[in-house]
A = this chain, B = another copy of it.
Amino acid sequence: MKKQKTRDHIVEAADQLFYQQGYEHTSFTDISDAVQISRGNFYYHFKTKDDILDAVISARMDKTRKMLAQWELDGSTPQGRIECFIRILITNRDKILNYGCPVGTLTTELAKLNHASREEANALFTLFRTWLEEQFILLGRSKDADDLAMHLLARSQGVATLASAFHDAKFIDQEVAQMCDWLNAYMPKE
């Protein structure tokens, strides 16, 4: 099946372009140029542009789930796992400086467009949210686990937005350090 292969290429290219240029501002031509495929050939793989968006979101969900699963292996303690989350800002620093947070910018754009896939994009946030919540529960904070998860999500989100606006890498490092301090000071050592 060659179909699946080119389909994957399309999704991958669209994923990048949607992140870098935004969904609406990315045209079929942009994607076909990136994949080196004729524009007309698209319809064979995807009926509409919205379908590509759904495929991209779905792919991001899978990738995120795998990443979270990996963190479960990397970090032996809940603190360590949460720290993995905090440190994505550093791992993806360059991209974030240029294009912001992929989750935040997409949900924001789709909200403005009042797009049908708005909620599906939000599910990406929910994925992180519930995962973080679980970690905080493991830390014995079951009462406010969700609040803490939202708090951390919001801080990461804000850091990405500001760092991107001012193209300030140092700011990312500072805030990541602060969040780690917050995590260690605030949480009970076990």
Contact = CB atoms under 8 A, between A and B. Distances in A.
Given A25-B113, A112-B22, A113-B25, A107 B147 contact: no
Nearest to A26: B112
Contacts of A20: 112
Q: How many copies does the complex hold?
A: 2
A114 B98 CA distance: 10
A154 interface: yes
A112 B110 CA distance: 14
A13 B114 CA distance: 19
Given A25-B24, A99-B111, A111-B100, A161 B157 contact: yes
Interface residues of A, number: 38
A156 interface: yes
Contact of A125 (B100, B108, B151, B165): B165
A153 B125 CA distance: 21
A107 B165 CA distance: 7
A50 to B, nearest CB: 15
Interface in A132-169: 147, 150-151, 153-159, 161-162, 164-166, 168
Interface string A31-57: 000000000000000000000000000
A22 to B, nearest CB: 4
A58 interface: no
Contact of A161 (B22, B161, B166): B161
A168 B125 CA distance: 13
